[in-house]
Structure 1
Amino acid sequence: MAKYQTPKDKHSLYFKVAHTSLLLPFLLEAMPNRGRNSVKSILKRGQVTVDDHIETKHDYRLHPGQTIAILKNKAAVKQNVLIGMSILYEDQDIIVIQKEAGLLSIATLKEKKMTAYHQLVEHVQRENPQNKIFVVHRLDKDTSGVMMFAKNERTKKKLQSSWKESVKKRLYVALVEGKVTNQKGYISSWLKETSSHRMYSSSVKNDGQHAVTNYQVIQSNTDYSLLELQLETGRKNQIRVHMQDLGHPVVGDKKYGSKQNPIRRLGLHAKTLSFVHPTTGKQLTFDAEVPKVFWKMSK
């Protein structure tokens, strides 16, 4: 394996995968001075990234050409290092971040600390222990991209009450299965949720929450298409359901019809968020670079 360090990131060690392997044996070989339990702890803490997503499973299968990044322990315990995310913008009212695939937005029953929310709470409380963070919207764990949090309740309420008017542009890109023949179009349906928390579309007017997704093909081949998606509404799992309705499920989205996962992550990325600042009234726009594997698979 080839070990290297980038000039931009002195906190991490990087390795190129030369042969098919499971992640834990690979890490044990990459870090020969560490014991098995120590390496497992590094994995569990979210310090290992495979290509562009956090991976915590020890039996995750690696393939030649993938890049493994290991955040050094010394860096991980420093207060100014965030795992699986970076801050794009911050002022007294809001924080805008870029989240990697694999990081939870908020806590679940199984995971409380390794979330964007928990890390940002710790971040703002270093300045003042009374500081808080408020959730404005969410991204699925396996979706990467731009996300915003509020730093006070007034800002949260203002953003949530005027979300449709405040957000001027919300663009996603999705790597989907198959060749999408129509270069552009839209999907409109009413979304409902089953008892098992799976969303589905109803064509009956007003039977659920109305959801509209506009799409445009960026590039495609016979196997995959890369779409730019603009949301007119922001419903739970909206894109994932609508891509299934289109007959081209998001790559890696087994829950909504995907049959394959060559990129070993969900093919969904929040590319652009443009909104009117709740206090200053200025329009701000933030972009997160589309994962390279999305371009590669749909070329």
Structure 2
Amino acid sequence: MDEIRVTVTEEWADTRLDVYMAKTMDISRSFAQQLVETGDVLVNGKAAKSNRRLSEGDEVAVTMEQPAELQAVPEDIPLNIVYEDKDIIVVNKARGMVVHPAAGNPDGTLVNALLYHCRGELSGINGVIRPGIVHRLDKDTSGVMVAAKNDEAHKGLAAQIKAHSARRTYWALVHGNIAEEKGIVDGPIGRHPKDRIKMAVTFKGGREAVTHFRVLKRYGEYTWIECKLETGRTHQIRVHMAYIGHPVVNDPLYGYKKDDFPIEGQALHSHCLDLVHPVTGEAMHFEAPMPDDFAACLHRAEQHR
């Protein structure tokens, strides 16, 4: 059993309990409601209903039983394939798709789809739950990512990511008018000292994290930026942009609660991936075009100008 205890902060005040759990604990809303119904969720030490409106300072305690053995099984889920050969597969991951099975998301993931499409031919280095997964994207981040079909390819890709030679480029729409045309955010990232469901820039126990950004277009109250990662920490762009006072639009964890943009989750898209083929040595460039929901956010930002 795994217990999570969190204190509701100001930005989540007046949010339904089940919505709060889904948005901040990376679980589905239906799973959150199931936990409430089985008595595994307490608010200030007492049982509560899913539709309870939370207040700042409320303590939410959630007990989740982790499955003894999660299993990833093939599922016939459509994939947007950018490139594929016998060693690697590059996909344009849809926003809302979880990368691999976990508590609350046992199926319907990218891994389930890859197992079906690749007929089980994926690297086994990361075990049975994350076969082929070399790097990941957050559930509500769309865009290009690569998976390995065999262990040789996996080792080659992992080495490039570790050495920062595989270049990942993202698009983000952030709050505020960034003064600089470009910049670097260099701040170690670790678990938030007071809120364990979040990450934060922390100089005590944090791991090196470096994000390069440049402005693509300004919208007065918002800025469209390009971000390039040197490192790949959990929620790195989201944490770094919030740290410098420009959180990603519609970010449920690090952004502003009252965002009104036509997108589910943060306005963040993995646009490009540059790497060397781990077997042939060929330099390769992949792109995932701007999704409709991100384009709609830019249009909304333009209207706000």
**TM-score grouping bracket, smaller chain normalisation:** 0.5 to 0.7
User: Identical aligned pairs, as a percentage?
Assistant: 36
What is the Cα deviation at residue 107 of structure 1?
1.1
Tell me the distance in 1 between the aligned counterparts of 2:196 and 2:260: 23
Q: What stretches of structure 2 of length at least 5 have no aligned partner?
A: 1-29, 31-73, 124-130
CA distance in 2 between partners of 1:226 and 1:218 (Å):
5
Supply the RMSD in Å over aligned alpha carbons: 2.3
Partners of 2:181 and 2:122 in 1: how far apart? Answer: 47
Q: Superposition pairs for residues 74-223 of structure 1, below 5 Å?
A: 82-83=77-78, 85-125=79-119, 133-165=131-163, 167-194=165-192, 196-202=196-202, 204=203, 207-223=205-221
1:230–1:217 Cα change, 3 Å: same
Indicate the SS of the match to 2:290.
coil
2:281 corresponds to? 281
> Which structure is higher in strand share?
1
For residues 238 and 131 of structure 1, the distance between their equivalents in structure 2, rounded to whole angstroms, comes to 27
Runs of 4+ aligned structure 1 residues displaced above 6 Å come to: none
Structure 1: which 5+ residue stretches go unaligned? Answer: 1-43, 45-78
TM-score between the two structures when normalised by the length of structure 2: 0.65
Residue of structure 1 aligned with 2:251, choices 245, 250, 253: 253
Q: Which stretch shifts more, 273-282 or 258-267? A: 258-267
Deviation at 1:225, TM superposition (A): 1.0
> If the length of structure 1 is used for normalisation, what is the TM-score?
0.67
Matched residue type, 2:296: V
Deviations along 1:242-280, one digit per CA (max 9) or x if unpaired, are 010111101111211323141232100000001000000
State how far apart, in whole Å, the 2-side matches of 1:250 and 1:263 are. Answer: 14
Aligned length: 216
Q: Distance in 2 between matches of 1:173 and 1:287?
A: 12
Offset of residue 81 of structure 1: 6.6
Report the equivalent of 1:297.
300
Is contact 1:191-1:209 (8 Å) kept? yes
User: Which digits, 9 at most, give the CA deviation of each residue in 1:213-261, with x for residues without a partner?
Assistant: 1111111212211100011111111000001011110111121132314
Higher RCO, Cα 8 Å, sep 6+: 2
Secondary structure of the corresponding residue to residue 269 of structure 1: strand
2:122, 2:290 → 1: CA distance? 32
